[in-house]
């Protein structure tokens, strides 16, 4: 077997060498003839995005246990998704936890270590506009964004200053510049801080489109919008989600869509993916890390610990002025194991029991409920 692998490796090496020699010969012939060299193949990029990160006390306790009683360590909890996240050119999360600077609640004081764990797992940036963004007022926003900055995570959706609120979060993804915008439908009934109406981005169609166009002018090749919206605990998108997705994806400037991808959160359960006006919309990614939740009747709702990772492969424009095209769209079902305190890639763990098969299949049915399969969405690995 080892000898055969060696023979195969030699054969592959020979083919690659021959191909390189051929390309070099083409360049030499072109140069001798005074012609431009053949263009190098344009490279695309992959983007992954995961659901809400909103650790309850039991999850924080697990992170304390994993740290050996000294602080918090969220890396073991996220180890199951690290291969998916770290191999992408750009990885986005949705952070709902706010760093409390006053009363020292565990779920809040753990935020700096949570940010470190997300960064260590391969995440590049997080959306921060959410219904919890003002749980601890302006000091909570400042503490949260400071923690993300220290961890090396970019962010969008909340701001410490008016200048920061007006800035565009531009991220490098392979050869492309990606703008990440973030908005929330509400702030849990908490009023915006006095004199700081810009502290949290609220969903407003005209504002979102204006920001998307500004991002294009700032150099964005791809514009991604994260929306904290939807009806909690509802598998299907509500009418406001559907209408807003229609309007946002229909908007164009000089024939080019203003928005290239919409990522949803806040329903706390997985919701469908759908291609709307030629643009992918993920209505709800679910909760990547949360903990036990209960429904309106007080019963435990296992869907609150289910989510997906969305993975999209983007290819460069076919012609100047065209959009970057999604050439492959995938979803990966996840579940947070309450007992083990780990995020589980269900497709990889499927051999461990029939219960996991049922969870994966339920998530798949929800994700595909609006016909995404016909537009090419597939179960990823």
Look at 34 and 62; give whichever has higher pLDDT: 62
Q: Residue 349: pLDDT band by 50, 70, 90 thresholds?
A: confident
CA angle 187, 188, 189 (to 5 degrees): 95
d(CA 300, CA 306): 13
Q: What would the pLDDT profile of 172-191 be if each residue is shown by its tens digit?
A: 999 999 999 999 999 999 99
> Does 11 have pLDDT greater than 70?
no
Q: What is the mean pLDDT of residues 202-209?
A: 98
Identify the pLDDT of residue 100.
57
**Structure confidence at residue 346 (pLDDT):** 93
Q: What is the pLDDT of residue 10?
A: 36
In this structure, of 30-34, 166-170, 186-190, the range with the lowest mean pLDDT score is 30-34
Average pLDDT taken over every residue of the chain: 88
* Per-residue pLDDT at 49: 98
User: In this model, does residue 1 exceed pLDDT 70?
Assistant: no
Give the model's pLDDT for residue 30.
Answer: 42
User: What is the 8-class DSSP label of residue 201?
Assistant: P
β pairing state of 287-289 and 45-53: parallel
Name the 3-class secondary structure at 202.
strand
Residue 372's pLDDT is: 98
What is the dihedral sign for C-alpha 215, 49, 196, 115?
A: negative
Q: What is the pLDDT of residue 13?
A: 39
Q: What is the pTM of this model?
A: 0.87
CA–CA gap between residue 329 and residue 47 (Å, rounded): 10
**Least reliable range by pLDDT among 34-48, 154-168, 184-198:** 34-48
Residue 200 DSSP symbol: B
Cα(80)–Cα(242) distance, integer angstroms: 32
Show me where the domains of the chain are located.
Answer: 1-40, 45-379
Residue with more model confidence, 35 or 58: 58
Parallel, antiparallel or unpaired: strands 90-95 and 125-127: parallel
Torsion angle, CA of 9/11/16/19, rounded to 10 degrees? Answer: -170
Q: CA dihedral defined by 315, 320, 322, 327, rounded to 10 degrees?
A: -10
- Say what the pLDDT of residue 352 is: 61
CA dihedral over 195, 201, 204, 210, signed as positive or negative: positive
Residue 25 pLDDT greater than 80, yes or no: no
Distances (CA, A) of 161 to 32, 60, 142, 196, 355: 58, 30, 9, 8, 48
pLDDT tens for residues 294-343? 777 877 787 889 999 999 999 999 999 899 999 999 999 999 999 999 99
pLDDT mean over 347-376: 89
Residue 16, pLDDT score: 38
365 and 379 Cβ atoms separated by less than 8 Å: no
Strand (E) positions, the chain?
45-53, 90-95, 125-127, 154-156, 170-173, 176-184, 222-228, 252-253, 256-257, 261-265, 273-276, 279-282, 287-289, 306-315, 325-337, 342-345, 377-379
| Residue 356: partners with Cβ closer than 8 Å, 6 or more residues away | 335, 344, 346, 349, 350
Note the pLDDT of residue 351.
65
The CATH number that domain 45-379 falls under is: 3.60.21.10
265 contacts: CB under 8 Å, gap ≥ 6: 51, 52, 94, 96, 127, 130, 226, 227, 228, 229, 230, 284, 285
H/E run at residue 266: none
State both tokens at 130.
């959410």
Q: CA-CA distances (angstroms) from residue 83 to 120, 122, 219, 331? A: 11, 9, 30, 14
pLDDT surpasses 70 at 167: yes
Using pLDDT thresholds of 50, 70 and 90, give the confidence band for residue 24: very low
pLDDT at 193 over 60: yes
Write down the residue that tokens 């997985």 correspond to: 270
CA distance 375 to 19: 35
In this prediction, residue 347 has a pLDDT band, given cuts at 50, 70 and 90, of: confident
Q: How far is CA 50 from CA 37, 78, 154, in A?
A: 41, 12, 15
Q: Model confidence over 82-114: pLDDT tens digits? A: 999 999 999 999 999 887 554 445 455 678 999
pLDDT in tens, 256-300: 999 999 999 999 999 999 999 999 999 999 999 998 877 778 777
* E strand or H helix at 321: none
């Amino acid at each position: 077997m080892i000898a055969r692998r060696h023979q195969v490796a030699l054969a592959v090496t020979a083919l690659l060498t021959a191909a390189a020699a051929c390309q070099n010969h083409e360049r030499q012939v072109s140069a001798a003839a005074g012609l431009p060299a053949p263009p190098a193949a344009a490279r695309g990029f992959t983007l992954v995005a995961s659901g809400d990160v909103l650790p309850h006390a039991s999850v924080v306790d697990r992170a304390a246990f994993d740290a050996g009683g000294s602080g918090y360590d969220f890396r073991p909890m996220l180890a199951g998704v690290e291969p998916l996240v770290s191999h992408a050119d750009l990885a986005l999360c949705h952070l709902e936890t706010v760093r409390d600077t006053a009363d020292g609640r565990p779920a809040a004081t753990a935020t700096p270590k949570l940010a470190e764990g997300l960064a260590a797992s391969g995440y590049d940036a997080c959306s921060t506009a959410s219904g919890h963004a003002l749980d601890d007022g302006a000091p909570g926003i400042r503490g949260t964004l400071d923690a993300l900055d220290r961890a090396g995570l970019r962010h969008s959706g909340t701001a410490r200053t008016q200048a920061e609120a007006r800035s565009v979060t531009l991220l490098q993804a392979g050869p492309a510049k990606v703008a990440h915008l973030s908005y929330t439908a509400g702030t849990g009934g908490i009023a915006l801080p006095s004199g700081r109406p810009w502290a949290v981005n609220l969903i407003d169609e005209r504002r979102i489109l204006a920001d998307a166009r500004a991002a294009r002018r700032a150099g964005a090749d791809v514009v991604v919008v994260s929306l904290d919206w939807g009806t909690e605990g509802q598998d299907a998108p509500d009418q406001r989600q559907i209408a807003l997705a229609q309007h946002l994806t229909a908007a164009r400037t000089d024939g080019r869509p203003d928005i290239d991808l919409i990522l949803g959160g806040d329903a706390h359960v997985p919701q469908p993916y759908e291609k709307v006006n030629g643009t992918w919309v993920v209505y709800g990614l679910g909760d990547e890390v949360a903990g036990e939740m209960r429904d309106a009747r007080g019963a435990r709702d296992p869907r609150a610990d289910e989510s997906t990772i969305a993975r999209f492969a983007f290819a460069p424009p076919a012609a100047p002025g065209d959009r970057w095209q999604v050439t492959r769209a995938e979803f990966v079902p996840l579940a947070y194991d309450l007992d083990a305190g780990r995020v589980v890639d269900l497709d990889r763990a499927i051999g461990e029991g029939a219960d996991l098969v049922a969870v994966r299949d339920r998530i798949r049915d929800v994700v595909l409920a609006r016909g995404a399969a016909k537009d090419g969405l597939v179960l990823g690995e």
